[in-house]
Amino acid sequence: MTKGGAHVTVLLDEAVESLAIKADGVYVDATFGRGGHSRRILSVLNERGRLVALDRDPQAIAAGEAIDDSRFLLVHRAFGELAEAAQEAGISGVDGVLFDVGVSSPQIDDGERGFSFRYDAPLDMRMDTTQGETAAEWLARAEVRDITEVIRNYGEERFAFQIAKKVVAARVEQPIVTTGQFAALVREAVRTREPGQDPATRSFQALRIHINQELRQLEIALPQALDLLKPGGRLAVISFHSLEDRIVKNFMRAQATPDALPKNLPLRADQLPKPKLRLVGKAIKPSAAEIEANPRARSAVMRVAEKL
């Protein structure tokens, strides 16, 4: 897929089916992207149905202007601000929330965004280009310890310390402002790498996750989605990274398990804590045919739960 190419929505059919959509229901697409899931949801809703979509990327918001539908509202917010977006939309309860987290193909394929080392471009990496610190600005001030922690924790990179030292030493001579500069430094510091993987892959991923606070956004968004769901409402989350999937899996499992109480408390059965979610099926992954058609779908995992 190249810049300007068609964006392929991952697990499109499976995601919309997992929401068990009611024709007159109210739904949230917390990650609009280029609108693949939103358009499919709208096609299932009747005239009384409603869909609110969120995205923090101004380019995604611009793309969403093509949807002229009175049932649809697109909000320029990160999904960590789900509760605020729902309140502004006048929604107090919804029948389903869908997350498709991580970086999108249009963001990767637009070299000027700085997400990919395939292009020598400004080292930006912000999903919301209207606010916040760029990757270049953060690398210009971060200490060796901070850079090491980010690359090790978010990239699972065993040469994180060596990369951090090289970055801090190099910026004394010249500011690190392009993807090409950063990628070259990483490649110099990484001594061995898995066959077929560029040495810069893990560090670019780590820096992007940190700049956009992607894992923190997910951690704060999931409880908001649970609170917003009506009983019987569905929560579906597609993730592309093991760290994201772990957050989703642990959240859903914790909410599907009753709170533990001390033994021998004099409580009746109806007084015992109840779980808030019911897990729906097993984790869903793309089919071989979908992966062949869209290799970027390979790492996708979808988990679904229903509010009790």
218 shares a domain with 302: yes
- Mark which of 196, 211, 226 sits at the end of a domain: 211
198 is in an annotated binding site: no
Q: Are 99 and 226 in contact (CB under 8 A)?
A: no
For residue 203, tell me if it sits in a domain: yes
Residue 204 sits in the same domain as residue 218: no
Strand partners, 52: 28, 73
81 and 95 assigned to the same domain: yes
* CATH number of the domain residue 183 falls in: 1.10.150.170
| Residue 79 marked ligand-binding | yes
* Domain-located, residue 6: no
Contacts of 199 (CB under 8 A, 6+ apart): 186, 187, 190, 193
CB 4 within 8 Å of CB 111: no
pLDDT class of 260 with cuts at 50, 70, 90: low
* Domain-terminating residue out of 211, 239, 260: 211
Is residue 232, in this structure, part of any structural domain at all?
yes
Could you tell me if residue 24 is inside a domain?
yes
| Residue 85 domain-assigned (yes or no) | yes
The answer to whether the annotation marks 251 as part of a ligand binding site is: no
Token readout for 53 is 């979509």
Number of structural domains the chain divides into: 2
pLDDT in tens, 160-194: 999 999 999 999 999 999 999 999 999 999 988 77
Spatial distance between the Cα atoms of 33 and 50, rounded to a whole number of angstroms: 18
Same domain, 183 and 226: no
Residue 259 pLDDT greater than 90, yes or no: no
pLDDT digits (tens, 9 = 90+) for 135-148: 999 999 999 999 99
User: Does a structural domain hold residue 282?
Assistant: yes
Whole-structure pTM value: 0.92
**Of the ranges 98-112, 126-140, 249-263, the best mean pLDDT one:** 126-140
Is 37 assigned to a binding site?
yes
- Amino acid at position 36, single letter: G
Burial class from Cβ neighbours inside 10 Å (0-12, 13-18, 19+) for residue 170 reads: middle
226 and 207 both lie in a single domain: no
Are 21 and 100 within one domain? Answer: yes
Q: If you search the block for the tokens 């988990």, which residue do you land on?
A: 303
Contact 218, 81 (CB under 8 A): no
Asked whether residue 118 is assigned to any structural domain, the reply reads: no
Indicate if 178 and 242 belong to the same structural domain. no
117 marked ligand binding residue: no
Residue 239: CATH number of its domain: 3.40.50.150
- Co-location of 301 and 221 in the same domain: yes
Tens digit of each residue's pLDDT (9 = 90 or more) over 24-76: 999 999 999 999 999 999 999 999 999 999 999 999 999 999 999 999 999 99
Residues 3-26: tens digit of each pLDDT = 334 568 999 999 999 999 999 999
97 and 155 together in one domain:
no
100 annotated as ligand-binding? yes
The predicted model gives 70-94 an average pLDDT of 97
Is 210 labeled as ligand-binding?
no
Residue partners of 2: CB distance under 8 A and separation at least 6: 109
E strand or H helix that includes residue 178: none
On whether both 224 and 297 belong to a single domain, the answer is yes
Percent of the chain surpassing pLDDT 70: 94
Give which of 207, 210, 252, 211 is closest to 99, Cα–Cα: 252
Last residue of a domain, one of 163, 185, 211: 211
- Residue 306's DSSP bridge partners are 234, 278
193 and 226 housed in the same domain: no
Phi, psi of 26 (to 5 degrees): -120, 130
Residue 119 lies in a domain: no
Structural domain boundaries, residue 159: 129-211
Give the ranges where 142-282 is alpha helix by DSSP (H). 144-155, 160-173, 179-189, 201-211, 214-228, 242-255
Query: Are 198 and 239 in the same domain?
Result: no
Express each pLDDT in 111-168 by its tens digit: 889 999 998 999 999 999 999 999 999 999 999 999 999 999 999 999 999 999 999 9
Give the CA distances from residue 222 to residues 46, 80, 148, 226, in Å, rounded to whole numbers and listed in that order: 27, 8, 28, 6
